[in-house]
C-alpha cells in the first residue's frame, strides 16, 4: 500500500481558491444545445495572453444534436414497448394519463444555465466544508480519450496550472477559437482516432458512471467534476424521496437528475416507462448515465452487496438486444475523510428513523457549513467494456459446458427477439449469471480504489481486543503509529493481493502533533485528549448517545475490512483456541464457513460459491506461515504463534466481533415467520435494543439494522447449505465462552 501523494491529483479546492468562482461558473461550455459563443468585451480585456494553459480541451462533438427533455419524453410515450403495455392494460384513458403523469414526474430537464448556477453555489459550499478535493488525474485523462477530447497541444508531464481569472478567460476564448476553426483542420490535428472508428463502439460512446454511495454529496460531485473539466454532464438516477426538497429538487432536475421510486417491480406500467427512459438515453447517446449500483447509501460505510440490479439490467438489455454495440462502465470510488451524515448514519443503524427529505430539514442542515470535513478523494477505475467482458464470459461458460457435455443450445438469440415487450425478468440464465459477475466486478473495482484515512486506524485501535469497552479506554499516539505499521505496512502484501491501488492518507513525516490536531478538529464530537496526551472517547453516560459514538467508530473501521476479510478468516479459525492445534481440513472448512456466513456482510473479490477448493486459501495460509503468525506442528496440523497474539487480535477482532454479533442475533429465538425481511429485521432489532449496552461492542453490532438484515439474509439465501441450528451450533462451538458471558450479562 502506497502513501497518498497529492502531486498525482488535481486539488479543486486549491485551484478555486486562486480564482473567481463567478467567472469559473460563467466559463464557455461546449454544449450543442446552448449558445455561448459570444463573450463580453470586458472579459476579453482581462485576458493575460502570456498565461500558459496546458489543460484546454476541444469541444464535445456529436454526430447529431442531443435531444432535449421534451423530445425524450415524447420518444418514451411513443415507444413500442409502452404502447404494448398500454394495450395489455386495456388501453384506457386513465392508463394513458397515468403514463404521462409518471414520465412528467420522472424526467430530468438538463440545461447548462441551472448547472452554472449550482456550480457557483457548490463551489462556495465545497470551499467552506472541505480542505481539499483530490481528483484522479489519470481518470480524467481516460475520460478525455473516450470522448476524444484530449487537447492537441497538451504537454506530457506538465501539471495543469491553477485556474486564475486570467487563465480561465483565456481558456474561454482559446477554446472558442478552436471550436470556430474548420472541422477538417481539427480532424487532421487530432492524434486520437475518432470514436466512430474504434474497435469498441461504432457510434459515440455510451458511458455509464458507477460511483460509490456513502453521502448525499455523491449526487453532486460527479456533475461538478464534469462541469469543471468540460465533460458532458451525466443524467443521474435519484430516489423519488428527494422531490420533498422543493426548490432544490427542481434545481437537481435541471442539472440532470431523474427521480424514480425505490420499489416498482410489481407495477408493469411504471417499470415499462422507467425501462424505456433509461434505454432511450443509451440508444440515442444523448448524455452519459450515472447511478449507484449499491441501490442506496451505505450507512455502514462498507460497500453493499449489489443485489438491486434493475437499473444495470435495463442498461445491459440494450446491448443484449443489439440496440447498442457497446457500453462503457466506469466504476468510481468517492472517499471521505469525514462523512457529512455520520451522526445520522449511526442513529439510523440503531433504529432511530431517518429524517424525511424536506425543505425544513434542508434549512436546518445549513449549520453543517460551519464545520470542516477534511478531504475528499475521487478515483476512477479503468473502463469496463461490456462487449469484451461478455464475450470473455461466454467463452468461459462454453468451456465449462464443453467439459461436461456437448448440448445443443435451442434458445432464441436476443438480437432477433421482439423489442416491443417489457419483461423485468426476461433474461436467460447466461445473461443473469453475467449480470451477477459484472456487478461483483464493478463493486470490486470500486473497493480496489479505497483510500485509508487516520480515523480508520484509530477505530481499529480503540475497538480491538475488547468485547466490552472500558469507559477509561484511551489510545496513545505511539500505539496508533504501531497499529498503522501492523495493518498497512507489515502486511502490505496481503493488501496488494486484493489491490495495488489502495492508498493511505497519512501526515507527512509521521508528524504526531499534526495527526493529533487533525483528529481533534475533525472529530471533536468523538475524541478528547487526556492528561497523559492520549486520545480518549467523549463518553457522556447516556446509553443511546454512547452507543451511537461507538457505532461511528465501527463505521469508519468498516471502510477497509474488505482488504483483510478472507486472510483474516484463517487467523480467526486458528485463534479460537490458541492452545490447541487445528488440522488443514478443519481450517479450510472454517475458512469457507466464514466466507458464506459473511457473504452479505462483506463483498469479496468474487461471488462466493460452494466449491471448497478456493484458489486463495493456500496462498493466504502460506503467507501467515511465512510471517510466523502460524507454524507447522506436522505436515497437516497448524497452531497459532502466541508471540504475535496482539498483532493477530488487531487483524481478526472486527471479524470476531461480527461473528459473535451473528451468534447473539441467532440466539434470540425468534422464528422467521415474517416473509418480509424488513419486518423481521425490525422485530429482531426491537428485541435487541431493549438490552442495549453502550459499552458492549458486540451488543451494539448485533443491534445494528444492517447486521441483523445481513444475518437473516444469510439464512434465507438460496445458496445456504446450512440451517439456523447448524450455523448456531458451529458458532457456539467456536465462540462458546464469550457467548455464555454475554447471555449472563443480558
User: Whose CA is closest to 216, among 246, 262, 248, 247?
Assistant: 248
3-state secondary structure of 696: strand
Contacts of 16 (CB under 8 A, 6+ apart): 24, 123, 126, 127, 163
* Spatial contact of 638 and 584, defined as CB atoms under 8 Å apart: yes
- Taking only the tens place, the pLDDT of each residue in 629-684 is 998 888 888 988 888 888 888 999 999 999 999 999 988 865 555 567 888 888 88
Element containing residue 235 per DSSP (H, E)? strand 235-239
Give 209's strand partners: 290, 330
Q: Residue 613: what pLDDT? A: 57
Range of weakest confidence among 22-26, 34-38, 299-303, 348-352: 34-38
Cell of 124: 462556495
Average pLDDT over residues 17-29: 84
Residue 645 burial (C-beta neighbours within 10 Å; 0-12, 13-18, 19+): middle
Confidence of residue 285 (pLDDT cuts 50, 70, 90): confident
Q: What is the pLDDT of residues 440-478, one digit of tens each?
A: 899 989 998 999 999 999 999 999 866 666 767 788 899
Over residues 68-88, mean pLDDT: 89
Are 161 and 167 contacting, i.e. CB atoms less than 8 angstroms apart? Answer: yes
The secondary structure of 350-379, three-state, reads CCCCCCCCCHHHHHHHHHHHHCCCCEEEEE
Max CA-CA distance within the chain? 85
Torsion, Cα of 75, 78, 80, 84 (10° steps): 140
- The string of pLDDT tens digits covering residues 529-566 is 887 788 999 988 888 999 999 999 999 999 999 988 88
- Partners of 290 in the β-ladder: 209, 236
Integer Cα distance of 254 and 248 in angstroms: 10
DSSP string, 582-648: EEHHHHHHHHHHHHHHTTTTS--SS---S-S--TTHHHHHHHHHHTTSEEEEETTEEEE-GGGHHHH
198 vs 203: CA distance, rounded Å: 9
Q: What is the pLDDT of residue 39?
A: 34
DSSP three-state, residue 262 = coil
Q: Are strands 384-385 and 474-475 parallel, antiparallel or unpaired?
A: unpaired
Band of residue 616 on the pLDDT scale cut at 50, 70, 90: confident
Rg (CA), the chain: 27
Q: Which CATH architecture has domain 100-148+191-448?
A: 3-Layer(aba) Sandwich (3.40)
Are 459 and 556 spatial neighbours (Cβ–Cβ below 8 Å)?
A: yes
Single out the residue of 168, 152, 71 nearest to residue 110, CA to CA.
Answer: 71
As a residue count, the chain comes to 746
Q: Give the pLDDT band of residue 135 (cuts 50, 70, 90).
A: very high
Closest CA to 126 of 274, 227, 276, 271: 227
The mean pLDDT value for 685-699 works out to: 89
- Whole-number Å distance between alpha carbons of 42 and 37: 15
β-strand partners of 208: 289, 329
420-432 pLDDT, tens digit each? 555 555 788 888 8
Cβ atoms of residues 44 and 177 within 8 Å: no
Q: What is each CA distance from 470 to 6, 21, 499, 686, 700, in whole angstroms?
A: 38, 49, 35, 25, 14
Domain boundaries, the chain: 100-148+191-448, 561-745
What 3-state DSSP class applies to 719? coil
pTM of the model: 0.84
pLDDT over 90 percentage in the chain: 30
What would the mean pLDDT of 252-260 be, rounded to a whole number?
A: 90
Q: Return d(Cα 700, Cα 467) in angstroms, integer.
A: 10
pLDDT value, residue 91: 67
pLDDT at 474: 86
- 118-123, long-range: CB < 8 A, 24+ apart: 118/220, 118/223, 118/251, 118/255, 119/24, 119/25, 119/224, 119/227, 120/21, 120/22, 120/24, 120/25, 122/220, 122/224, 123/16, 123/21, 123/24, 123/25, 123/224
Q: What per-residue string of b and e applies to 361-397 under the rule 16 or more CB within 10 Å gives b?
A: eeeeeeeeeeeebbbbbbbbbebbbbbebbeebeeee
DSSP characters over 667-688: TT------S-HHHHHHHHHHHH
Q: What is the mean pLDDT of the chain?
A: 79
Amino acid at each position: 500500500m502506497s502513501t497518498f501523494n497529492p502531486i498525482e491529483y488535481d486539488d479543486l479546492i486549491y485551484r478555486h481558491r486562486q480564482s473567481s468562482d463567478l467567472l469559473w461558473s460563467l466559463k464557455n461550455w461546449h454544449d450543442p444545445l446552448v449558445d455561448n459563443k459570444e463573450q463580453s468585451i470586458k472579459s476579453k480585456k482581462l485576458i493575460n495572453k502570456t498565461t500558459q494553459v496546458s489543460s484546454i480541451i476541444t469541444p464535445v462533438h456529436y454526430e447529431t444534436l442531443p435531444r432535449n427533455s421534451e423530445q425524450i419524453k415524447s420518444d418514451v410515450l411513443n415507444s413500442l414497448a409502452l404502447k404494448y403495455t398500454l394495450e395489455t392494460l386495456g388501453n384506457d384513458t386513465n392508463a394513458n394519463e397515468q403514463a404521462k403523469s409518471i414520465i412528467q414526474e420522472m424526467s430530468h430537464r438538463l440545461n447548462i444555465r441551472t448547472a452554472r448556477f449550482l456550480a457557483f453555489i457548490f463551489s462556495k459550499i465545497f470551499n467552506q466544508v472541505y480542505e481539499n478535493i483530490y481528483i484522479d488525474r489519470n481518470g480524467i485523462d481516460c475520460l478525455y480519450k473516450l470522448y476524444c477530447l484530449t487537447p492537441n497541444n497538451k504537454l506530457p508531464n506538465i501539471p495543469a496550472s491553477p485556474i486564475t481569472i486570467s487563465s480561465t478567460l483565456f481558456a474561454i476564448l482559446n477554446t472558442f477559437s478552436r471550436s470556430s476553426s474548420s472541422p477538417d483542420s481539427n480532424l487532421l490535428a487530432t492524434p486520437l482516432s475518432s470514436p466512430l472508428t474504434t474497435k469498441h463502439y461504432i457510434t459515440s460512446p455510451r458511458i455509464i458512471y458507477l460511483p460509490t454511495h456513502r453521502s448525499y454529496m455523491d449526487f453532486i460531485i460527479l456533475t461538478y467534476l464534469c462541469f469543471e473539466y468540460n465533460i458532458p454532464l451525466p443524467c443521474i438516477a435519484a430516489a423519488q424521496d428527494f422531490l420533498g426538497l422543493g426548490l432544490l429538487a427542481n434545481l437537481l432536475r435541471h442539472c440532470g437528475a431523474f427521480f424514480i421510486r425505490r420499489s416498482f417491480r410489481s407495477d408493469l406500467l411504471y417499470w415499462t416507462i422507467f425501462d424505456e427512459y433509461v434505454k432511450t438515453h443509451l440508444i440515442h447517446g444523448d448524455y452519459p448515465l450515472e447511478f449507484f449500483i449499491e441501490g442506496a447509501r451505505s450507512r455502514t460505510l462498507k460497500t453493499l452487496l449489489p443485489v438491486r440490479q434493475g437499473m444495470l439490467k435495463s442498461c445491459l438489455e440494450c446491448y443484449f438486444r443489439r440496440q447498442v454495440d457497446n457500453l462503457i462502465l466506469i466504476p468510481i470510488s468517492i472517499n471521505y475523510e469525514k462523512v457529512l451524515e455520520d451522526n445520522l448514519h449511526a442513529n439510523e443503524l440503531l433504529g432511530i428513523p431517518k429524517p424525511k427529505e424536506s425543505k425544513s430539514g434542508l434549512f436546518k442542515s445549513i449549520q453543517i457549513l460551519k464545520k470542516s470535513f477534511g478531504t475528499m478523494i475521487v478515483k476512477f477505475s479503468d473502463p469496463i467494456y461490456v462487449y469484451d467482458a461478455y464475450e470473455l464470459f461466454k467463452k468461459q461458460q462454453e468451456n465449462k459446458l464443453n467439459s461436461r457435455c456437448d448440448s445443443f443450445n435451442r434458445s432464441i438469440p436476443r438480437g432477433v427477439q421482439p423489442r416491443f415487450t417489457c419483461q423485468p425478468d426476461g433474461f436467460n440464465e447466461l445473461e443473469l449469471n453475467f449480470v451477477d459477475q459484472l456487478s461483483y466486478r464493478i463493486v470490486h473495482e470500486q473497493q480496489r480504489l479505497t483510500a485509508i484515512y487516520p480515523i480508520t486506524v484509530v477505530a481499529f485501535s480503540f475497538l480491538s481486543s475488547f468485547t466490552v469497552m472500558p469507559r477509561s479506554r484511551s489510545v496513545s499516539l505511539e500505539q496508533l503509529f504501531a497499529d498503522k505499521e501492523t495493518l498497512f505496512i507489515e502486511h502490505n502484501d496481503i493488501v496488494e493481493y486484493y489491490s495495488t491501488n489502495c492508498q493511505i492518507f497519512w501526515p507527512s513525516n509521521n508528524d504526531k502533533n499534526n495527526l493529533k490536531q487533525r483528529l481533534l478538529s475533525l472529530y471533536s464530537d468523538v475524541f478528547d485528549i487526556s492528561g497523559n496526551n492520549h486520545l480518549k472517547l467523549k463518553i457522556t453516560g447516556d446509553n443511546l448517545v454512547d452507543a451511537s459514538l461507538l457505532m461511528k467508530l465501527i463505521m469508519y473501521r468498516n471502510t477497509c475490512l474488505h482488504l483483510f476479510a478472507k486472510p483474516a478468516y484463517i487467523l480467526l479459525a486458528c485463534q479460537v483456541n490458541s492452545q490447541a492445534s487445528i488440522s488443514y481440513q478443519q481450517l479450510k472448512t472454517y475458512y469457507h464457513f466464514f466466507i458464506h456466513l459473511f457473504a452479505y456482510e462483506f463483498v469479496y473479490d468474487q461471488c462466493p460459491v460452494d466449491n471448497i477448493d478456493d484458489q486463495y486459501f493456500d496462498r493466504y495460509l502460506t503467507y501467515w506461515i511465512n510471517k510466523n503468525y502460524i507454524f507447522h506442528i506436522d505436515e497437516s496440523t497448524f497452531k497459532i504463534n502466541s508471540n504475535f497474539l496482539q498483532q493477530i487480535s488487531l487483524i481478526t477482532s472486527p471479524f470476531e466481533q461480527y461473528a459473535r454479533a451473528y451468534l447473539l442475533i441467532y440466539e434470540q429465538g425468534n422464528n422467521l415467520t415474517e416473509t418480509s425481511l424488513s419486518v423481521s429485521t425490525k422485530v429482531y432489532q426491537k428485541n435487541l435494543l431493549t438490552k442495549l449496552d453502550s459499552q458492549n461492542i458486540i451488543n451494539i453490532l448485533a443491534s445494528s439494522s444492517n447486521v441483523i438484515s445481513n444475518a437473516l439474509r444469510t439464512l434465507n439465501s438460496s445458496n445456504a447449505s446450512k440451517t439456523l441450528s447448524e450455523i448456531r451450533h458451529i458458532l457456539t462451538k467456536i465462540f462458546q465462552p464469550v457467548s455464555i458471558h454475554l447471555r449472563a450479562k443480558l
